[in-house]
Chains A and B, each alone.
Chain A
Amino acid sequence: MNKMLNLIIDGRKLQAEEGKTVLEVARDNGIDIPTLCYNEELEPYGACRLCLVEVSRNNRTRLVTSCLYPIEEGLVVKTSTEKVVANRKMLMELLLARCQGVKVIEDMARKMGVDKPSFKPEYFEKNECILCGLCTRACAEVVGTSAISLVNRGVNREVAAPFLDTANDCIGCGSCVYICPTKCIKMEETGDTRTIVNWKATFKMQKCQKCGKNFAPEKQLEYFRKKLNLPQGFFDVCPDCR
């Protein structure tokens, strides 16, 4: 068990384990800090910058991303100072200008009091992807296939399969589809086939030998069977029937 540290968030005196981040402690205590690229199961990334908070210690105050900042003894955290709010508002304006028409972003912006971006409308874009990296990180860290990645750099950055072709390492598990906050990764299932549309990857589904349901791609099951050293035929029957 790690050492317990004392800190203050928005005036509340709290105690938490050393090694935790400010965001984790805030969420553990019901204090709301907005995020877009954060997921508990993945390593924090620090791309969206929405979780910015003001931290002070030893007469030094600065703005940091709470998802990555490790707590310290005597840390004073303020989650909604004027500066923090002004930054979050501009960040939302930038997102709105990039993702015109994406409901999730528009709802989030409205909640923060941001209606429309201050830039010239002719420059608005209609991207659905917010480049949070959740899909690529899930694929690399949880699934372990690294089938997709963030390619190019700067304003040309995008999530893609190698060579913008079929993602050969994709196993069709659908993790990227589920984790995407704007639901811009599309999955289609027809009969005994599943396609992850964005990565041009099509998979034959495994049919359960008991109930006959097409429950998961064969490739995905084979991948996990090998990874977890399970016997042949382990996935011939679906989890419900097992």
Chain B
Amino acid sequence: MRLKEIKGRVNSPKQLEALRASVLAKRDPKRPCIALCVGTGCLAYGCVDILEAFKNEIVKQKLQNSVDIRATGCPGFCERGALLTIYPQGVFYQRVKIEDVAEIVTETIVKGRVVDRLLYADPNTGERYQKETDVPFYKRQQRILLEANSKIDPTSIEDYLAIGGYSALAKVLFQMKPEQVIDEVKKSGLRGRGGGGFPTGNKWQSTREAEGDIKYVICNCDEGDPGAFMDRSLMEGNPHSVLEGMIIGAFAIGSHEGYVYIRHEYPMAVDNVMTAIKQAESRGLLGNNILGSGFHFNVKVSRGGGAFVCGESTALMASLEGKVGEPRAKYVHTSEKGLYNRPSNLNNVETWANIPHIILKGADWFSSIGTKGSKGTKIFSLVGKVNNTGLIEVPMGMKLRDIVYGIGAGIREGKKFKAVQTGGPSGGFIPESQLDLPVDFDELTRVGSMMGSGAMIVTDENTCMVDMAKYFVGFLQEESCGKCLPCREGLKRMLQILTDITDGKGREEDIELLERIAATLKDSALCALGSTAANPVLTTISHFRDEYEAHIKDHRCPAGVCKPLIKYSIIDEKCPGCGKCVEPCPTKAIKFVAKKEPVILDQELCIKCGTCYDICNLKAVSIK
């Protein structure tokens, strides 16, 4: 049945529902649809060419009137790109290459048969799974926010409407008062997802109560924590959900002007959000007189310039004012004096994305998920040395062990787990002995780490913890704004000391000196970048002191990472003399002897670049 096409603005909830009905009426749920991920991660797998290939193949097989192709956002299983799901069956294919396209169309679309080799196989048991919902990586998650990513085209507002989008907004504008909205969010127990974990409802209330007629609502999509890409995924894959959350928040707070601040390194997120804004405006869901309610709210998109510190709220606001991203003291909160010294409510992307769900399903529903202090789900980016890397959304309270071994399927290449790093450069390392900790704001802080934005980096026996501490301090030094003395000078000295240690020039007193500088940073730094900079150093000293001592006393790097302390050598018994490593060696340090004779590595010429180690299939190069 075809309903009348509704063009232009919808000016009431009734008209919104009529639009939604007309969109759904045009769709046949039984019609096959190939939903291919074109998120930034899959770009590296050539998904753009694969999409073209599908379009061509569909036309070639004369299926264009019976099969849909949808370019979706990132569903999160980045380890296995390129990814696609075929609806309505829900068949999930991974590691798809352009050569597989014709076969997928012929076998699965036309003949209804599954292509076995493209199904996900458990790396430990070998068992294969057909349906997306059965794949253990997805099944063990609770994908309230991410589920839509594999179903909708983020550049289509119709797709968002088809899954119920903007009905939360209609409910808020026509059935609730601002104070009721704030009460609901407070009751839900939602805490900020960007790292601060501050109760969202309380922040909204403070901003609402602050003095001033002009108030701002800001979305922080700066996502600077390296290893974190949750916000990228949400913003690229479902920008309307974030916008809807912001409009609801603006209504509750009494704000009519908002900003979406996106990091410069996420061009697709910028494009998709700008498209979403234009579409929402043209439909009367954003801008003046939203849905005919009389409420108006406008949003501008602003880009970052490559500065991690701009993820800090006051630095972000300075950047929005056209100034350098220097933080300022927060003794007076930004909810009172923020952007242009006016009351401003800043929330993270994931926080905003939770709002429509809380409004539609209720605070009680939300607070039934998670732990006493941490409600709802959290999206984590599980990366590093695990088998299954990607984005996962789990209820708060799930044990780290279940995440690393259950969803992550354990450590790759059969190596031994060493630690999982949470909270980005502000967080700490959690060793094996603490793996039964639940993911919970307060629990993670209790052990010296923190939840942070959600990056979870898994390390193994070949990760040097001193090198990791050096890495984080180096990162923070590069990102420090330089305003305050302890951060600028303290990080500089910590990096010099850590570099000396990894170069084999460490002194006995260096560990204590690092702890003293770290304590000063914690107490006296101006912003959270500086004050949490100590965490990676302190947690590695606390849990892996033996590694520090090996570097300082024995001039040894147990994990085999720190170049001045390791040696590359050929394992004669394993080397067949194929000579594959000879030509790529940049300093010609490897000499070919003869076939079946091991090659000879000249230590004087070796610069430990790792090329031979990477290229040898027989693992005949050892690093000690």
Interface residues of A, Cβ cutoff 8 Å to B:
46-49, 52, 63-65, 68-70, 83, 86-87, 90-91, 94-95, 97-98, 118-120, 123, 131, 133, 150, 152-157
Interface presence of B307 (CB below 8 A): yes
Interface presence of B63 (CB below 8 A): no
Residue of A nearest to B521 (CB): A90
Interface presence of B184 (CB below 8 A): no
List the 6 closest A-B pairs by CB distance, nearest first: A157-B482, A94-B489, A90-B520, A154-B480, A154-B482, A49-B524
Contact A120-B482, Cβ < 8 Å, known A49-B526, A98-B489: no
Interface presence of B432 (CB below 8 A): no
CB proximity of B598 to chain A, nearest CB, Å: 42
Contact status B307-A153, CB under 8 Å: yes
Interface presence of B31 (CB below 8 A): no
One digit per residue, 1 when the CB lies within 8 angstroms of any chain A CB and 0 when it does not, for chain B 459-489 equals 0000000000000000001111111111011
Residue of B nearest to A84 (CB): B523
Q: Which of A68, A86, A118, A123 contacts B329 (CB 8 A)?
A: A68
Q: How distant is the Cα of A215 from the Cα of B337 in the complex, in angstroms?
A: 43
CB proximity of B284 to chain A, nearest CB, Å: 43
Interface presence of B55 (CB below 8 A): no
Contact status A156-B328, CB under 8 Å: no
**Residues in chain B near residue A156, CB distance under 8 A:** 482
Q: Which of B33-41, B64-72, B148-156, B492-500 contacts A (4 or more CB under 8 A)?
A: B492-500
Q: How distant is the Cα of A211 from the Cα of B492 in the complex, in angstroms?
A: 54
Interface residues of B, Cβ cutoff 8 Å to A:
307, 324, 328-329, 331-332, 477-486, 488-493, 496-497, 500, 507, 509, 513, 516-517, 519-520, 523-526
Q: How distant is the Cα of A153 from the Cα of B324 in the complex, in angstroms?
A: 9
**Residues in chain A near residue B496, CB distance under 8 A:** 119-120, 123
18 A-B pairs with C-beta separation under 8 A: A46-B328, A47-B485, A52-B524, A65-B329, A69-B329, A90-B486, A91-B524, A119-B496, A120-B500, A123-B496, A131-B485, A153-B481, A153-B482, A154-B478, A154-B480, A154-B488, A157-B481, A157-B488
**Residues in chain B near residue A120, CB distance under 8 A:** 496, 500, 507
**Residues in chain B near residue A91, CB distance under 8 A:** 485-486, 520, 524
Contact status A87-B524, CB under 8 Å: yes
CB proximity of B481 to chain A, nearest CB, Å: 5
Contact status A123-B307, CB under 8 Å: no
Q: How distant is the Cα of A28 from the Cα of B552 in the complex, in angstroms?
A: 51
Q: How distant is the Cα of A47 from the Cα of B486 in the complex, in angstroms?
A: 9
CB proximity of A113 to chain B, nearest CB, Å: 15
Q: How distant is the Cα of A86 from the Cα of B517 in the complex, in angstroms?
A: 10
Residue of B nearest to A155 (CB): B492
Residue of A nearest to B478 (CB): A154
Contact A131-B488, Cβ < 8 Å, known A118-B513, A155-B477, A157-B482: yes
**Residues in chain B near residue A95, CB distance under 8 A:** 485, 489
**Residues in chain B near residue A68, CB distance under 8 A:** 329, 331
Q: Is the interface of B mostly helix, strand, loop or mixed?
A: helix
CB proximity of A20 to chain B, nearest CB, Å: 13
Contact status A70-B332, CB under 8 Å: yes
Q: How distant is the Cα of A123 from the Cα of B516 in the complex, in angstroms?
A: 18
Q: Which of A48, A69, A131 contacts B482 (CB 8 A)?
A: A131
Please give 18 more A-B residue pairs, beta carbons under 8 A apart, in addition to A86-B519, A155-B491.
A46-B483, A47-B526, A64-B329, A69-B329, A87-B519, A87-B524, A91-B520, A94-B489, A119-B497, A123-B493, A131-B482, A131-B485, A150-B483, A152-B482, A153-B481, A154-B488, A155-B488, A155-B492
Residue of A nearest to B493 (CB): A119
Q: How distant is the Cα of A154 from the Cα of B485 in the complex, in angstroms?
A: 10
Contact A70-B331, Cβ < 8 Å, known A87-B524, A123-B496, A154-B479: yes
CB proximity of A132 to chain B, nearest CB, Å: 9
Q: Which of B307, B324, B477, B486 contacts A94 (CB 8 A)?
A: B486
Q: Which of B479, B481, B484, B517 contacts A90 (CB 8 A)?
A: B517
Residue of B nearest to A50 (CB): B485
Contact status A155-B483, CB under 8 Å: no
Contact A94-B493, Cβ < 8 Å, known A46-B329, A155-B477: yes
Residue of B nearest to A149 (CB): B324
CB proximity of B499 to chain A, nearest CB, Å: 10
Contact A46-B526, Cβ < 8 Å, known A97-B493, A154-B481: yes
Contact status A49-B485, CB under 8 Å: yes
Contact A154-B477, Cβ < 8 Å, known A87-B520, A94-B485, A131-B488: yes
Q: How distant is the Cα of A97 from the Cα of B490 in the complex, in angstroms?
A: 10
Q: Which of A52, A131, A153 contacts B523 (CB 8 A)?
A: A52
Contact status A48-B480, CB under 8 Å: no
**Residues in chain B near residue A118, CB distance under 8 A:** 509, 513, 516
Residue of A nearest to B525 (CB): A49
**Residues in chain A near residue B328, CB distance under 8 A:** 46
CB proximity of A134 to chain B, nearest CB, Å: 13
CB proximity of B512 to chain A, nearest CB, Å: 9
**Residues in chain B near residue A131, CB distance under 8 A:** 482, 485, 488
**Residues in chain A near residue B524, CB distance under 8 A:** 49, 52, 63, 87, 91
**Among A47, A52, A69, A86, which residue has the most Cβ atoms of chain B within 10 A?**
A47
Contact status A155-B493, CB under 8 Å: no
CB proximity of A142 to chain B, nearest CB, Å: 19
**Residues in chain A near residue B492, CB distance under 8 A:** 155
Residue of A nearest to B487 (CB): A154
Q: How distant is the Cα of A94 from the Cα of B307 in the complex, in angstroms?
A: 24
**Among B324, B480, B488, which residue has the most Cβ atoms of chain A within 10 A?**
B488
